[in-house]
Amino acid sequence: MDKKLLFVQGNEVCVEAALYAGLGFFAGYPITPSTEIAELLSMRLPQRGGKFIQMEDEIASMCAIIGASLTGLKSMTATSGPGFSLKQEAIGYAIMAEVPCVVVNVMRSGPSTGMPTKGSQGDVMQARWGTHGDHSIIALTASNHQDLFLITVEAFNLSETYRTPVILLLDEVIGHMREKLIMPQPGEIPLVQRLRTSVKEGTDYHPYLPREDGRLPMSDFGGVHRYNVTGLMHDMWGFPSDNPQVAYGLMRHLVDKIDQHAHVITRTKEFFLDDAETVLISYGSSARSALHVVENRRARGERLGLLELQTLWPFPAKVVRERCSRAKHVLVVEMNMGQILLEVKKTVDDPDKVFLANRIDGTFISPTDIRNVLRVIQSKGI
Amino acid sequence: MPVSVKEYLRERFMPHLWCPGCGHGIIMNNLVRAIASLGIKKNDIVMVTGIGCSSRISGYLDFHTLHTLHGRALAFATGVKLARPDLTLLVPMGDGDALAIGGNHFIHAARRNIDITAIIMNNNVYGMTGGQFSPLSGYGTLATTAPFGNIYEAFDIVALAKAAGASFVARTTAYHVSSMTEILEKAIKHKGFSVVEILTQCPTYFGRKNQRGDAVEMLNWYKDHTTPIGSGKKEKDATLIERGIFVDEQRPEYCEEYAKVIDRGTKKQEG
């Protein structure tokens, strides 16, 4: 079969992949640098009978996709820094009410309005802890367009499997960069469809009673089962409860369903790690520069390797620990003040061997930036 | 038509959490009667609420019920409605929920003229949190956050809804139960964004703080201080609050308009 080749922006890849995954509903609000996602979907969705709505604000967009998802449609919103902040309360609602949805955050420089057109990876911790209260979350990222396609489809698959919002953390560089994409053929990437209950009409359906495998089959709003959905702590019928046992059970369920499946959820890519003395850890657009450095040094015979993270949350701690165990130095490459650095330091046996190569000035981190830090930690002086 | 209210209730959650004398139960009763008289199936109704005393109504009624975030009920409801335009969307809200934290969603839902029935249970106070002033408390009222008197004017919900583009706008009170049912029926049947403001007594907080007396006295206040639209009484006493249907117009509805967008989109793609 002929392969369809595209030369597109990352935001466009995200759109193509979301449609491939079966996106049926998108709500959004204009914000740089994610706006192209809304623009493209305002055209592409109605062309296939899907629904696009530009809401009055970021909060409303997040709420609208939760409502739409409950009726059975795969739903998504896209935003950037300030909008991601505004969505946090409703993201918590989707976690609590276990409503599958995908939230794209094309990260830009912050805090506050920051530098809207400049790249950054400053929302990594916000993706983890942005909404109030204890919870787990899934957050994914990618460093090139081919991977981004897969990871976007994966975001939808995981949101359906675990009935949870999934955060897709792109950054401005990936979002606006153009490169080649080979469009996957229909059927090439497996899709997870909504798991619906087999309980018949007139029989008691418990929307929040997990099956033995931990999954909760859903029933579409407007269908034959009438039930309650709430952001309050709730029982297996979805009705509010402040019973300590019910609250404990639900909290454990919400956290465990993700944390206990971290080994299946997490995705990483490894480059030259087997004998690496210096392990670079990076993700998103930063991983491109990190890979460039690693490949160049390898050509000169230096034992450098790269561990690229595609799952940021749950943090791939097991892989990081194993892959860093024999390294003399670990260098985390990211465009923030060291958010993943903290996780890596927490994870490895010897935190003193972990260093940071970063940029926080809105400039894309270059191989030179990384080489400069390498020179220092390898005691070669600047 | 005799109505079995019980058929629509989730009786296992009775007694409800509303205080003795609260007007919200009267509204719930009349809402059920309106739905029964329209003959809408329970499976075809989605009720979306926010946070507050009024918002607990969704827990007591046997529909598809979505109890959401403070102020955001209309935003969630918009997602449900656009995804499934065939469903009947009912959104009861409190005055603080609808018009303070949710004010932006309210005016935009009205402008969109999306086929949702918004019922504002206006008791002039934040009841759930214990009696703070709301955007409907009005100048000079007392509240736990206005111990020396509230210095805000109240919104006029009818004027606001009209200006924002709602195609059905009505006001009634917990005292006027028979016209309330009739108005709710018309509002639900109306194709487009319908707003029904229902003045409802909160004897526990608004009433007590403002010496409005008990529930019966507060209900009598609604009788004495309101008048049907266009009655002669209003000319003599401008302070009277008008009740009735202020706007009932047919205008393009959002989901129907979006269906045309889909038509144009699919044709363009084929062409």
Locate the domains of chain B by residue range: 5-270
Residue with tokens 């889909």: B262
User: Would the pLDDT of A221 be above 90?
Assistant: yes
**H or E stretch at A330:** strand A329-334
- CATH number of B5-270, picked from 2.160.10.10, 3.40.50.970, 3.60.21.10, 3.30.10.20: 3.40.50.970
Q: Which pLDDT score is estimated for A214?
A: 84
Whether B105 and A43 lie within 8 Å, measured CB to CB:
no
User: Is residue A41 over pLDDT 90?
Assistant: yes
Taking the C-alpha atoms of residue A327 and residue A309, their distance in angstroms, rounded to an integer, is 17
CB atoms within 10 A of CB A91: 23
Residue type, B216: V
Chain B nearest-CA distance from A259, in A, is 26
pLDDT tops 90 at residue A381: no
Min mean pLDDT across A212-221, A270-279, B216-225 is at A212-221
Minimum CA–CA partner of B63 in chain A? A226
pLDDT for res B1: 53
User: Closest chain B residue to A240 measured between Cα atoms?
Assistant: B59
Q: Note the pLDDT tens digit of each residue in A327-366.
A: 999 999 999 999 999 999 999 999 999 999 999 999 999 9
Q: What type of residue is B202?
A: C
pLDDT score, position A380: 65
Of all helices (H) and strands (E), which one includes residue A147? helix A145-162
Round to whole Å and give the CA distance between B244 and B247.
Answer: 9
What confidence score (pLDDT) does residue B97 get?
A: 98
**Across the interface, do A56 and B80 touch by the CB < 8 Å criterion?**
no
Best residue of A29, A39, A63, A77 to probe chain B, by most B CBs closer than 10 Å: A63
Q: Would an 8 Å CB–CB cutoff place B16 in contact with chain A?
A: no
Domains and their CATH numbers in chain A: 4-183 (3.40.50.970), 269-377 (3.40.50.920)
Residue A48: name the closest of A32, A24, A27 by CA: A24
For the beta carbon of residue A283, count every other beta carbon within 10 angstroms. Answer: 27
Confidence of residue A278 (pLDDT cuts 50, 70, 90): very high
Averaged pLDDT, A264-276: 97
Q: What is the Cα–Cα distance from A157 to A166, expressed in whole angstroms? A: 9
Give the Cα separation of A350 and A30 in Å (integer). Answer: 44
Q: 3-class SS at A311?
A: strand
Smallest CA–CA separation between A59 and chain B, in Å?
Answer: 8
Average the pLDDT over A147-176 and give the result: 98
CB-CB under 8 Å, B82 with A46: no
Hey, of A66, A95, A233, which one would you mutate to test binding to chain B, going by the most B CBs within 10 A of its CB?
Answer: A66
Rounding to the nearest 10 degrees, give the CA dihedral for residues A180, A184, A189, A193: 110
Q: What is the pLDDT at residue A3?
A: 82
Q: How far apart are CA A232 and CA A255, in angstroms?
A: 16
Q: Average pLDDT for residues A115-137, to the nearest whole number?
A: 97
Write down the ipTM of this complex: 0.97
Residues 6+ apart with CB under 8 A from B238: none
The segments of chain B whose pLDDT lies below 70 read 1-2, 270-271
pLDDT range class, residue A378, cuts 50, 70, 90: confident
Cα distances from B226 to residues A174, B4, B94, B196, in angstroms, run 61, 30, 20, 15
User: To the nearest whole angstrom, how far is the Cα of B211 from the nearest Cα of chain A?
Assistant: 34
A60 → chain B, closest CA residue: B75
Q: How many CA atoms lie within 13 A of B174 on its CB side?
A: 25
Query: What residues contact residue A75 under an 8 Å CB cut-off, 6+ apart?
Result: A23, A24, A25, A26, A27, A65, A66, A68, A69, A100, A101, A102, B79
Q: Do the Cβ atoms of A32 and A117 come closer than 8 Å? A: yes
Chain A residues lying within 8 Å of B258, measured CB to CB? 46, 51, 53
- Chain A residues touching residue B84 (CB < 8 angstroms): 71, 221-222
pLDDT at A159 over 60: yes
Tokens 């629509």 locate to B8
Strand arrangement of the beta sheet that strand A329-334 belongs to: A268-271, A304-309, A278-282, A329-334, A354-358
| B262: contact with A, CB 8 A cutoff | yes
- The whole-number average pLDDT for the span A307-336 is 98
Q: Residue A71 above 70 pLDDT? A: yes
Task: Spell out which residues of chain A touch residue B42, defining contact as CB-CB under 8 Å.
Answer: 226
Q: Write out chain A residues lying below 8 Å of B79, CB-based.
A: 25, 27, 53, 63-69, 75
User: Mean pLDDT across chain A, nearest whole number?
Assistant: 97
User: In this structure, what DSSP letter does residue B100 have?
Assistant: I
| A370 reaches B (C-beta below 8 A) | no
pLDDT in the model for residue A1: 57
DSSP string for A74-125: EEEEEE-HHHHHHHHHHHHHHHHHT--EEEEEEEEE-STT-EEEEE--TTHH
Whether A70 shows a pLDDT value over 90: the answer reads yes
